[in-house]
């Protein structure tokens, strides 16, 4: 599998899925900003991050 030079393969700490992370203009930057970003934490995969955001938005209502 070929990935762009500025991308890396990450492993989701929640489910163990692998996914591509691009630090600049990442797919996650288009999601609602419902929690602070910890630059030292591992990234979640799209499925897990969508679920985490949905839960946080439900709790906030």
Q: Who has greater pLDDT, 8 or 51? A: 51
**Which segments of the chain are extended strands (E)?**
8-11, 18-21
18 burial (CB, 10 Å; 0-12 / 13-18 / 19+) is exposed
- Per residue in 23-55, pLDDT (tens digit) is 777 888 888 888 887 778 888 999 999 999 999
């Amino acid at each position: 599998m070929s990935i762009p030079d500025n991308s890396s393969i990450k492993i989701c700490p929640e489910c163990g899925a692998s996914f591509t992370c691009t630090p600049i203009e990442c797919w996650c930057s288009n999601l609602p900003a419902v929690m602070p970003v910890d630059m030292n934490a591992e990234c979640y995969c799209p499925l897990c991050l969508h679920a985490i955001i949905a839960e946080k938005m439900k709790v906030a209502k």
